[in-house]
Amino acid sequence: MTAAGSTEALGRRPVEWLRLACFAGSAVAALFLVSLVGLLLAQSLPIWREEGILGFLLGRRWFYRSGELGALAMIYGTAAVSAVALALAAPVGLGAAIFTAEVLPPRARLAVKTTVELLAGVPSVVYGLLGVLVLRDRVYRLLAPFEPLSGDTLLTGGLLLAVMVLPTVTTFSEDALRGVPGAHRRAARGLGLTRARTTFTVVLPRALPGIAAAHLLALGRALGETIAVFLVIGRRDNQLPESALSFDALARGGQTLTTKLGGAETFLAWGDPKHWAALMALALVLLALVVGVTLASAAVLAKGGGRAPVD
């Protein structure tokens, strides 16, 4: 940046303002995230000191009145509803994406894509209310052999979440599929492969990083969803199954990280430093999970994008 004549100086200034403003914007965003993590860490320090990281994360009982503050049941709840949601949304969403990207003509594709994206715009609380009005009864009847207490179960939460993350899976998977160059499809057709074979052996493998990223983003959304799950999950503490894969546990009410934080304990914890610290620790765990999944999704995309398009 030599001290040039007046014309050069004038030409350089507008670009610097823009760059500065953009940098400021990113700095603010990054600063916000760092401060959030820092704040949660600082506020949750008492519980990490008292119980240790593993002690808190693997603690099986949460009874704040007696000072027992263990997060395992809530971590299990979060994992269970997210797993159910992804298990249901993945096949349906991927199937819809493949159909939309590979089979539908352009106008129909636009209509379907718009509809799916509208579904993503429905506010969570509407999903929650629909869950209470419609889903609870159906799940209660469906789970009759397991003798549930009510329709408020982990399964209900998982089903509701599946509908909520479906648009994410579909839209991003479809983008990934459309991102595979048409030349590959034409080459495959030229070699005599059928439509189906082309899709599954040529297009899908090349779209895999994008599809994986789509599922990770959907997982991120499922992990953080609060109000919809809050209304249908029962909010029952300390529900841990004997084995992690027991289906019976899905027919019982449960508690997730988000439903605990969205509940009344944040008011009751005021003035009790250990209880408050435990809640902040739950928030930190949740944040760490979501950030981890989001970073993984970005990494998968970056790695996939770096691969050469032609083998």
- Binding flag, residue 150, another protein (CB under 8 A): yes
Interface size with another protein, residues (CB under 8 A): 31
Query: Minimum distance from CB of 52 to another protein (Å)?
Result: 22
Site for another protein in 177-236 (CB under 8 A): 231, 234-236
The residue with tokens 């059928």 is 194
- Binding flag, residue 294, another protein (CB under 8 A): no
- Binding flag, residue 147, another protein (CB under 8 A): yes
Q: Residues 307, 237: contact at Cβ < 8 Å? A: no
Q: Which of 180, 218, 184, 194 is nearest to 91 (CA)?
A: 218
What is the DSSP secondary structure assignment for residue 234, as one 8-state letter?
Answer: B
User: What amino acid occupies position 44?
Assistant: S
- Binding letters toward another protein, positions 103-132, x by CB under 8 A: -----------------------------x
What is the DSSP secondary structure assignment for residue 180, as one 8-state letter?
Answer: S
- Please compute Rg for the chain using Cα positions: 24
Query: Minimum distance from CB of 124 to another protein (Å)?
Result: 16
Among 239, 256, 258, 297, binds another protein (CB under 8 A): 239
Query: Where are the extended beta strands (E) located within 65-192?
Result: 68-69
- Binding flag, residue 267, another protein (CB under 8 A): yes
Q: How far apart are CA 162 and CA 91, in angstroms?
A: 11
Q: Which of 213, 180, 205 is nearest to 298 (CA)?
A: 213
Q: Residues 47, 282: contact at Cβ < 8 Å? A: no
- Binding flag, residue 140, another protein (CB under 8 A): yes
- Binding flag, residue 158, another protein (CB under 8 A): no
- Binding flag, residue 99, another protein (CB under 8 A): no
Query: Minimum distance from CB of 277 to another protein (Å)?
Result: 16
- Binding flag, residue 137, another protein (CB under 8 A): yes
Query: Minimum distance from CB of 230 to another protein (Å)?
Result: 9
Among 77, 151, 210, 220, binds another protein (CB under 8 A): 151
Environment class of 280 (CB within 10 Å of its CB; exposed 0-12, middle 13-18, buried 19+) = buried
Among 59, 158, 220, 253, binds another protein (CB under 8 A): 253
- Binding flag, residue 308, another protein (CB under 8 A): no
Q: Would you give the end-to-end CA distance of the chain in angstroms?
A: 44
**Going by C-beta distance under 8 Å and a sequence separation of 6 or more, which residues neighbour residue 149?**
234, 252, 253
Query: Minimum distance from CB of 150 to another protein (Å)?
Result: 4
In this structure, how many other beta carbons lie within 10 angstroms of the beta carbon of residue 76?
A: 20
- Binding flag, residue 264, another protein (CB under 8 A): yes
- Binding flag, residue 157, another protein (CB under 8 A): no
Q: Residues 140, 151: contact at Cβ < 8 Å? A: yes
Enter the tokens of residue 179.
Answer: 């991102």
- Binding letters toward another protein, positions 57-96, x by CB under 8 A: -----xx-xx------------------------------
Q: How far apart are CA 206 and CA 24, in angstroms?
A: 37
- Binding letters toward another protein, positions 10-39, x by CB under 8 A: ---xx--x----------------------
Q: Which residues bind another protein (CB under 8 A)?
A: 13-14, 17, 62-63, 65-66, 132, 136-137, 140, 147, 149-152, 231, 234-239, 253, 263-265, 267-268, 270-271
